[in-house]
């Protein structure tokens, strides 16, 4: 998702928080978002991508998403071989970097192993 679209969605998100709490347009939305326990849009998008990735790895997602997630097959067996790693595909364009397969694998790499190896989403508190 482009930075422009994320900024637009964040403005709508902030406006909704002000509307719910009946604050004026000039008031900062950050404390309102904290009070409502709302995450910024960027994090919401990342979490949604990670949830779809988790479901695709456990065959709970639609087939077309499961086909996009490729487990990493190392040539040698490192100690981290069973960490549910994903293959990050190389791209030449920014549009390629935004594809589900690349974005999901890039986010998945940064997750703690405890979350990657959970049996279900509720146990990991990801969802």
Q: 74 with 85, same domain?
A: yes
pLDDT at 113: 79
At CA 116, angle to CA 66 and CA 82, rounded to 5?
90
Q: 32 with 47, same domain?
A: no
Q: 73 with 125, same domain?
A: yes
Q: 66 with 125, same domain?
A: yes
Give the domain extent around 82: 40-127
What band does 127 get if pLDDT is binned at 50, 70 and 90?
Answer: very low
Q: 25 with 53, same domain?
A: no
Domains held by the chain: number: 2
Q: Are 102 and 91 in contact (CB under 8 A)?
A: yes
Buried b (16+ CB within 10 A) or exposed e, 32-63: bbeeeebebbeeebeeebbebbbbbbeeebee
Residue position matching structure tokens 């695709």: 56
For the entire predicted model, the pTM comes to 0.75
Q: Give the least confident one: 32-41, 85-94, 111-120.
A: 85-94
Q: 112 with 63, same domain?
A: yes
Q: 80 with 111, same domain?
A: yes
SS3 79: coil
């Amino acid at each position: 998702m482009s930075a422009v679209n994320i900024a637009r969605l964040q403005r709508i998100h902030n406006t909704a928080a002000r509307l719910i709490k009946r604050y004026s347009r000039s008031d900062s939305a950050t404390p309102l978002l904290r009070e409502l326990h709302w995450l910024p849009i960027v994090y919401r998008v990342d979490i949604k991508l990670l949830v779809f990735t988790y479901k695709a790895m456990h065959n709970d997602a639609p087939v077309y998403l499961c086909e996009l997630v490729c487990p990493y097959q190392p040539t040698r067996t490192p100690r981290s071989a069973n960490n549910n790693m994903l293959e990050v595909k190389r791209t030449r364009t920014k549009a390629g970097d935004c594809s589900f397969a690349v974005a999901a694998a890039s986010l998945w790499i940064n997750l703690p192993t405890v979350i990657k190896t959970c049996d279900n989403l509720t146990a990991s508190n990801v969802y």
